[in-house]
């Protein structure tokens, strides 16, 4: 299955946080029944129990991506492992929230085991479901044609991360940007979002370029000019996109562009 939902430019950070808030709101409404007096406290409780897991899951995924063995796994298995680990880290926090709201348990060990068994399956399944649109080929980002000079050469590489992009946007790499545990890929044909590690993508990229910021890699051919502001800078690309240059990498970027 491969396609695009034309619903605008949705960033992963906004997507996951909004999803957590909406789930918390839904669960609080269901949990409160007709008792409006307790709804606000339930809303706070459910927001804690949806926002905290999301943050832990994202952090767990990003930490696990530092291991090459994890990055070699199928993306679905990556999410299963990060889901189980993230849910396990959340289980003592979930128990703490329950204790704060409902009082001390009789047996902490059994209560924690029960909490772990209660939260791990639904959190892992929810994590898979939230990431499923991208993994199934539906990109929650509008695909647009970049306005490039007609003389710009176009090549279709078959790097590992390029194969995860929709066919419509496979082209010559312009910018790679880390977005949480996702990678935003801008080519001369459009833009897509995939579950991938920036470090691996840079090593696979055939284009001559430089990592100008911890979250950005830019191809040299796509740079129009460098604008410097004090000890930092901004790269203006030929599609009018602006990419920040970290102050620690400004000298290296200037030297690279002058070659």
Tell me, yes or no, whether 43 and 90 share the same domain: yes
Tell me, yes or no, whether 19 and 121 share the same domain: yes
CATH for 226: 2.40.50.1020
Tell me, yes or no, whether 7 and 128 share the same domain: yes
pLDDT band at 16 (very low <50, low <70, confident <90, very high): very high
Tell me, yes or no, whether 180 and 230 share the same domain: yes
pLDDT band at 103 (very low <50, low <70, confident <90, very high): confident
pLDDT digits (tens, 9 = 90+) for 177-215: 999 999 999 999 988 888 888 999 999 998 999 999 999
Tell me, yes or no, whether 171 and 252 share the same domain: yes
Tell me, yes or no, whether 110 and 27 share the same domain: yes
pLDDT at position 46: 86
- % of the chain at pLDDT higher than 90: 48
Tell me, yes or no, whether 109 and 44 share the same domain: yes
Tell me, yes or no, whether 27 and 118 share the same domain: yes
Tell me, yes or no, whether 128 and 219 share the same domain: no
pLDDT at position 34: 55
Q: What is the mean pLDDT of residues 134-161?
A: 53
Quick check: is 143 in a domain? no
Quick check: is 211 in a domain? yes
Domain span at residue 72? 3-135
pLDDT digits (tens, 9 = 90+) for 62-75: 999 989 899 888 88
pLDDT digits (tens, 9 = 90+) for 150-187: 434 444 445 678 888 888 888 999 999 999 999 999 99
pLDDT digits (tens, 9 = 90+) for 20-64: 999 888 888 887 665 665 778 888 888 988 999 999 999 999 999
Average pLDDT, the chain: 83
Tokens of 82: 């990060």
Quick check: is 76 in a domain? yes
Quick check: is 152 in a domain? no
Quick check: is 144 in a domain? no
Tell me, yes or no, whether 191 and 103 share the same domain: no
Tell me, yes or no, whether 12 and 121 share the same domain: yes
pLDDT at position 145: 43
Q: Which among 119, 135, 151 is the end of a domain?
A: 135
Tell me, yes or no, whether 100 and 171 share the same domain: no
Quick check: is 172 in a domain? yes
Q: What is the mean pLDDT of residues 233-250?
A: 93
Quick check: is 141 in a domain? no
110 against 216, higher pLDDT:
216
Quick check: is 150 in a domain? no
Least confident of 97-106, 167-176, 246-255: 97-106
pLDDT at position 184: 92
Domain count, the chain: 2
pLDDT at position 147: 45
């Amino acid at each position: 299955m491969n396609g695009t939902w034309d619903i605008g430019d949705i960033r992963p950070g906004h997507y996951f946080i909004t999803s957590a808030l909406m789930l918390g709101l839904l669960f609080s409404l269901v949990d409160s029944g007709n008792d409006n007096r307790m709804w606000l406290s339930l809303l706070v409780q459910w927001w804690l129990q949806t926002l905290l897991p999301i943050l832990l899951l994202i952090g767990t995924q990003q930490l696990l991506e530092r291991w090459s063995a994890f990055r070699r796994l199928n993306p679905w298995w990556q999410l299963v492992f990060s889901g189980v680990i993230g849910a396990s880290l959340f289980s003592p926090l979930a128990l703490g929230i329950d204790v704060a709201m409902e009082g001390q348990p009789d047996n902490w060990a059994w209560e924690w085991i029960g909490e772990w068994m209660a939260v791990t399956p639904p959190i892992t399944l929810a994590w898979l479901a939230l990431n499923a649109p991208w993994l199934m080929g539906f990109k929650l980002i509008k695909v647009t044609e970049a306005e490039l000079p007609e003389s710009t050469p176009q090549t279709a590489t078959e790097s590992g991360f390029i194969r995860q992009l929709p066919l419509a946007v496979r082209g010559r790499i312009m910018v790679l940007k880390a977005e949480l545990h996702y990678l935003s890929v801008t080519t001369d044909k459009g833009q897509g979002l995939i579950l991938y590690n920036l470090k691996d993508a840079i090593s696979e990229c055939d284009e001559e370029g430089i990592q100008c910021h911890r979250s950005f890699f830019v191809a040299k051919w796509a740079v129009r000019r460098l604008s410097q502001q004090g000890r930092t800078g901004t790269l203006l690309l030929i599609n009018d996109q602006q990419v920040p240059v970290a102050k620690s990498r400004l000298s290296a970027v200037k030297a690279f562009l002058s070659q």
